[in-house]
Structure 1
Amino acid sequence: MGWLAKLVGNAAFAPFSKALPAMGDTERAALEAGTVGFEGDLFSGRPDFDALNARGPNRLTEAESRFIDHEVRELNAMLDDFAIDEAGDLPPEVWRFLREKKFFGMIIPTGYGGLGFGHFAHAAVVTRIASVNVATAVTAMVPNSLGPAELLLRYGTDAQKQHYLPRLADGRELPCFGLTSPHAGSDAASIPDTGVLCEREIDGRKVRGFRVTFDKRYITLAPVATVVGLAFQAVDPARPEGQQHLGITCALIPVPTPGMTIGRRHHPMDSAFMNGPIQGEDVFVPMDWVIGGEERVGQGWRMLMECLAAGRSISLPALGSAMQQTALFVVTGYGRIREQFGLPIGRFHAIAALAGRIAVDLYATDAARRFTAAALDAGEQPSLAGAILKVQLTEAGRRAVIDGMDILGGKGIIRGPKNLLGVSYRHAPIAITVEGANLLSRALIIFGQGAVRCHPHVLDEMKAVEAGDREALGEALLAHGGHMARNLWGALFGLGVRGTPPAELRAEAAMIARLSAAFAFTTDLAMGLLGGKLKRLELLSARLGDVLSNLYLASGALWRHQVEGDPALLPFVRAAIRVQVARGADTLHELYANLPSAAARGLAPLLLRGTRQRRPLRDRQVLELADLLRDEPALIHALCPDIGTPKSGGLLDLMQALELSKPVMGELDELDKVLRRTRSFEQAAARSKDPAAALAYLRAADKVIQVDDFPP
């Protein structure tokens, strides 16, 4: 078939050279960073559920479990959300505890004095802290995420590792990383901060290095940092014109360093975590300060993209999960205690439906987070999955908190220590914005990078055009044509299920496979119709990214049930998968309605005929899930395993009231009825079989219902 490949390649070379988008060095580095996991199966249109289920369950080592059960629990018991928010900083004893217990060294190997935790353990620690106080979670997560530690572990010289890693592990050094510039926010690869190669005499000897001028902002931990990771454009003026630009370079700068200004604060939504600007004017950065030394000059963007593949999968998704878990715990708990019109408010359909939907979303998003952590712990670097998690979990966290605020009503908007979600409500936009704003990630990263990196043939076609290899282009195009034909058939009639999903979820697996085929065919159709223009048509590319995200979350839910196998959660598993599939199908219909081709729009009813049979949950189904949450409190623990116990405040009040309700569970309605009539805790409690337990509960419940007031 070589002659056919040559024929096709010769005919297609010129139009493909024009249609395929140009790829710069920074975009190439982003595309080549990380590895492709199950998201590649979804792009193929034929997901293999055996490959999905082969990823092992999340496991904690004995040391990791002990740390979570003791150090994290002890830390949470030191945290007062409102007091920290009011003070605008963590208490000194919390800072000291974080250092002493090596929270800043979770990812640093034990050989360097760190804790040597895996990715799932790292995520679990951040999630449990964030459920109590987001500012403390951010403070602990930044040194373990996109910070100097991971860059040093991967690329640092031996001398840099030996000097910095033990000091970062025990908190003697507190790092920050300066990437974002005022004139290059989302377009981080275009940072204007420049370092000019030069020599300076230091202690009687000439030292090569860079004279760097920079202006950075939004840098978490900058006001308290003792070492600054810095990204800048390296330039060698001695080179010929056109060859002077060496590329983005990463360096470590100790605090203080002459010419560098640091210490002022930003106040992101008035949160208590440290964040601020850094400026530098003619700061001399010796070559020894460049991460990895002189041989790593110009490789900074690739280094950052490879590290972000892991960090983006852990930190902000952990915050999003904590927001969801906290919101579900608060909504269901408050719904049992707060009574209106003679009924606990959790029984009203408008409130019950929100609780059910939060739970369904939480199962899917947390499943995908756990699946990705398992992939990371297996040695993969799923960069595209990290972008999906960042968007989906921070958005789900924001939705859950907003729904929770609606349910809390007046209690949710009164500032004070009794407020249950107000601080989280303020934090939600921060998670949406940082580490790649969600608007950017949806429109450009999830599909834009995914279409090239995960598609089974597009990258081969681009490489063939770039190399001028017409036969290779023809081979890739022939394979691509077969791929499209198979997915067209799969979208129209279904291709069956590859692998062996759980028998009780086989129907849901078939839904995922059918939608995957429709998505894969639609991707090829859109790229064929629009070529390189699709990159600029962000509303279309964002929709394709959303469908891929829905498929990834649905697949994660199926995987989680396979490895955990909790039969009590099966109704939530089915609902989670069906909701994600329905969302993906609806988004594909929106996409076709907005394609510029009338012919493609006309074909949409035929091409998507297999997707309209899947509808979102009906009211009855959502309310049944809410009833399960109300009648079986163990389900809340199963869905919200990372809720921590704080030092004080509204969340602790709610936990105590729920615990005190257990001895009088069957009497709650009657107790409330008598209390309404008598307005006396004592008289109401006297009607109980256990008056002491009833009195303790009634007082605790009243404490939950109250809000704060302050002197004028």
Structure 2
Amino acid sequence: TEIIALKSGGVSIDREIFKGKVNYSKLYKPFLIRKYDEMNIETNEILNDVGTENIYPNKNIHKSIMKKLGNYGFLSMIIDKKYNGNRLSIASQSKILSKFSSYNPSLAVTTMVPNSLGPAELLQHYGTEEQKNYFLPKLANGSMIPCFGLTGPNNGSDAVGDIDKGIVVLVDGKIKIKITLNKRYITLAPISNLIGIAFKLEDPDGLLINKKSGISVALVESSQEGLLQNTYHNPNNAGFPNGTIKGTIYIDTNQIIGGENKIGEGWKMLMECLAVGRGVSLPATANGSSKFITHTIMNYLMIRKQFNMNIGNMEAVKEKFIDMYLNTWIIHTSVNFTNHILDSGSTPSVITAIMKQQTTERSRTVLNHAMDIYSGSGICIGKNNFLTKFYNSSPIGITVEGSNTLTRGLIIFGQGLNKSHPYIFPIFQNIQDNNINEF
């Protein structure tokens, strides 16, 4: 699985940087004609409808918020229009999520999950035609709310380290897969009725014709016998649904995304599709929150006085604010640049990992400086504290889609060298193959 992770995805400007020859004209030209006005009216309407309060817990979340998100097309921004989806450019998705995040972070997280790594993304790339035609229209209109069960008590950033097992068995003469589930930290799990399940398939009795095994991904509806969605997490009072998926279930082989032919290809599928969450959703939320925080603190500096002077004129405060502004600008420009790369059709795994790690870390720096400047008002919860909702959600962006510590060490440096350096991976491959001549 480590080799698959290191080899997955494509390259872009990162390889050109290694070569020392970057074609800037090719990279920047499309910015002049890019349109960012898709869904502006709908975005403002949904924000006015939902407001700034945390959207969860809320017993009417299906009827009130999720239905509205589905009707407006915010749950299907990655689904093709032929499945009644509302497929948008990466730039437009990013802008919408940034705006959501600046106003209501809990709404942003709830919206990004159906548009990131999960049932819709995996179905479009690997699903059978029957699976696509049945599930995608329901995901598009919000009648099916997806989540993706990958992590558990013993597999976090090492997602397949000690993953749930699925054993091929015979039940009444029919081939079934018995899966014992113990998933944790699954966003939208408490309200989801279509669940993607990652598990390690084993066929000890050789019942499958193709004799395949390994990490696989299946779709399970909430009506599945034996499935439990009874226990919940509270992610730092950030206000979005999160919980566990448990139970022992028996599924058919046609519930595997892509059918039996895709058995054992789950890790490759996940790695190839991870760019959306890492490269789009999380940087977009960092972008929106940092802009809001920097803008509000800038206004606060103009009205708050101490020692008979505006605190904005104090050099120590200026130093922190300038650092906030710098980091916000870096996030903004890098998000625009990466969106352009992704919209051009490239899927650079290392660049998206850099974006995830750098934007979430820099947005945390922006937030911490803002807390220092807002001082006592920043640590007292209340309606006038505009930082609390961002402070609660900041550690989540650092942690999800691969903890930043792992992302920096394994993906950025490890995968970065393997993907972009002209010689390192061939050397490694020749050692693996014991190919002395090529080595």
Report the TM range for the smaller structure's normalisation: over 0.9
Q: Provide Cα deviations, 1:258-285, integer angstroms capped at 9, x if missing partner.
A: 111114210010221000011121x111
**Counterpart among 156, 162, 177 of residue 148 in structure 2:** 177
Aligned to 1:121: 92
Q: Is contact 1:178–1:216 with CA below 8 Å preserved after alignment? A: yes
**Counterpart among 43, 51, 54 of residue 18 in structure 2:** 43
Alignment pair present for 1:195 and 2:161: no
State how far apart, in whole Å, the 2-side matches of 1:335 and 1:85 are.
33
Q: Is contact 2:182–2:247 with CA below 8 Å preserved after alignment? A: yes
CA deviation after TM superposition for structure 1 residue 88, in Å: 9.6
Consecutive unaligned residues of structure 2, counting only runs of 5 or more, are none
Alignment pair present for 1:138 and 2:105: no
Q: What does 1:360-375 correspond to in 2, within 5 Å?
A: 360-375=326-341
Aligned to 1:307: 273
Aligned to 2:27: 53
State how far apart, in whole Å, the 2-side matches of 1:248 and 1:70 are.
42
Distance 1:374 1:116, change over 3 A: same
Q: Is contact 2:55–2:240 with CA below 8 Å preserved after alignment? A: no
Q: Aligned letter for 2:198?
A: A
Aligned residues: percent identity? 35
**Counterpart among 142, 162, 183 of residue 216 in structure 1:** 183
Aligned to 2:2: 27
Q: What does 1:48-447 correspond to in 2, within 5 Å?
A: 48-50=22-24, 53=27, 56-57=30-31, 65-67=37-39, 69-82=40-53, 84=55, 93-201=64-172, 207-239=174-206, 246-281=213-248, 283-447=249-413
Distance 1:464 1:84, change over 3 A: closer
Number of residue pairs aligned between Structure 1 and Structure 2: 437
Q: Aligned letter for 1:182?
A: P
Q: Aligned letter for 2:140?
A: A
State how far apart, in whole Å, the 1-side matches of 2:151 and 2:259 are.
23
Q: What does 1:567-578 correspond to in 2, within 5 Å?
A: none
Q: 3-state DSSP class of the match of 2:178?
A: strand
Distance 1:468 1:311, change over 3 A: same
Q: 3-state DSSP class of the match of 1:252?
A: strand
Q: 3-state DSSP class of the match of 2:37?
A: helix
CA deviation after TM superposition for structure 1 residue 222, in Å: 0.1
CA deviation after TM superposition for structure 1 residue 73, in Å: 1.0
Distance 1:231 1:87, change over 3 A: closer
CA deviation after TM superposition for structure 1 residue 373, in Å: 1.2
Q: 3-state DSSP class of the match of 1:472?
A: coil
Distance 1:463 1:86, change over 3 A: closer
State how far apart, in whole Å, the 1-side matches of 2:50 and 2:196 are.
29
Distance 1:92 1:355, change over 3 A: farther
Distance 1:43 1:306, change over 3 A: same
Aligned to 1:608: none
389-398 or 336-345, which deviates more: 336-345
Q: Provide Cα deviations, 1:111-140, integer angstroms capped at 9, x if missing partner.
A: 111111111111111111000111100000
Distance 1:403 1:92, change over 3 A: farther
Aligned to 1:566: none
Q: Aligned letter for 2:435?
A: D
Q: Is contact 1:182–1:217 with CA below 8 Å preserved after alignment? A: yes
CA deviation after TM superposition for structure 1 residue 338, in Å: 2.2
Q: Aligned letter for 1:96?
A: K
TM-score (norm 1): 0.59
Q: Is contact 2:327–2:363 with CA below 8 Å preserved after alignment? A: no
CA deviation after TM superposition for structure 1 residue 36, in Å: 0.8
Q: Provide Cα deviations, 1:209-248, integer angstroms capped at 9, x if missing partner.
A: 31111200000000000011000000011249xx988110
Task: Tell me which stretches of 4 or more aligned residues in structure 1 moved more than 2 Å.
Answer: 41-44, 49-56, 58-61, 78-96, 198-201, 206-209, 337-345, 462-473
State how far apart, in whole Å, the 2-side matches of 1:66 and 1:443 are.
37
CA deviation after TM superposition for structure 1 residue 153, in Å: 0.3
State how far apart, in whole Å, the 1-side matches of 2:170 and 2:134 are.
24
Q: What does 1:614-653 correspond to in 2, within 5 Å?
A: none
CA deviation after TM superposition for structure 1 residue 369, in Å: 1.8
State how far apart, in whole Å, the 1-side matches of 2:73 and 2:287 are.
23
CA deviation after TM superposition for structure 1 residue 51, in Å: 6.3
State how far apart, in whole Å, the 2-side matches of 1:254 and 1:315 are.
25
CA deviation after TM superposition for structure 1 residue 66, in Å: 3.9
CA deviation after TM superposition for structure 1 residue 207, in Å: 4.1
Distance 1:55 1:389, change over 3 A: farther
Q: 3-state DSSP class of the match of 2:143?
A: coil
Larger CA Rg, structure 1 vs 2: 1
Q: Is contact 1:167–1:173 with CA below 8 Å preserved after alignment? A: yes
Q: Provide Cα deviations, 1:487-535, integer angstroms capped at 9, x if missing partner.
A: xxxxxxxxxxxxxxxxxxxxxxxxxxxxxxxxxxxxxxxxxxxxxxxxx
Consecutive unaligned residues of structure 1, counting only runs of 5 or more, are 1-25, 474-712
State how far apart, in whole Å, the 2-side matches of 1:39 and 1:118 are.
22
State how far apart, in whole Å, the 2-side matches of 1:91 and 1:309 are.
28
Q: Aligned letter for 1:109?
A: D
Distance 1:336 1:103, change over 3 A: same
Q: 3-state DSSP class of the match of 1:231?
A: strand
Q: 3-state DSSP class of the match of 1:270?
A: coil
Select the structure that is richer in helix. 1
State how far apart, in whole Å, the 1-side matches of 2:103 and 2:190 are.
23
CA deviation after TM superposition for structure 1 residue 78, in Å: 2.7
Q: Provide Cα deviations, 1:612-631, integer angstroms capped at 9, x if missing partner.
A: xxxxxxxxxxxxxxxxxxxx
State how far apart, in whole Å, the 1-side matches of 2:32 and 2:227 are.
43
Q: Aligned letter for 1:99?
A: G
Q: Provide Cα deviations, 1:264-315, integer angstroms capped at 9, x if missing partner.
A: 210010221000011121x111111100000000000000000002321011
Q: Aligned letter for 1:199?
A: L
Q: 3-state DSSP class of the match of 1:187?
A: coil
Q: Is contact 1:81–1:417 with CA below 8 Å preserved after alignment? A: no
Q: Provide Cα deviations, 1:466-506, integer angstroms capped at 9, x if missing partner.
A: 34433322xxxxxxxxxxxxxxxxxxxxxxxxxxxxxxxxx
Distance 1:182 1:52, change over 3 A: farther
Q: Provide Cα deviations, 1:428-479, integer angstroms capped at 9, x if missing partner.
A: 1111111100111112221011111211111122233334433322xxxxxx
CA deviation after TM superposition for structure 1 residue 86, in Å: 8.4
State how far apart, in whole Å, the 1-side matches of 2:81 and 2:230 are.
31
Distance 1:255 1:55, change over 3 A: farther
CA deviation after TM superposition for structure 1 residue 30, in Å: 1.2
CA deviation after TM superposition for structure 1 residue 321, in Å: 1.4
Distance 1:174 1:248, change over 3 A: same
Q: Is contact 2:7–2:415 with CA below 8 Å preserved after alignment? A: no
Q: Aligned letter for 2:96?
A: V
State how far apart, in whole Å, the 2-side matches of 1:402 and 1:91 are.
35
TM-score (norm 2): 0.94
State how far apart, in whole Å, the 2-side matches of 1:332 and 1:91 are.
38
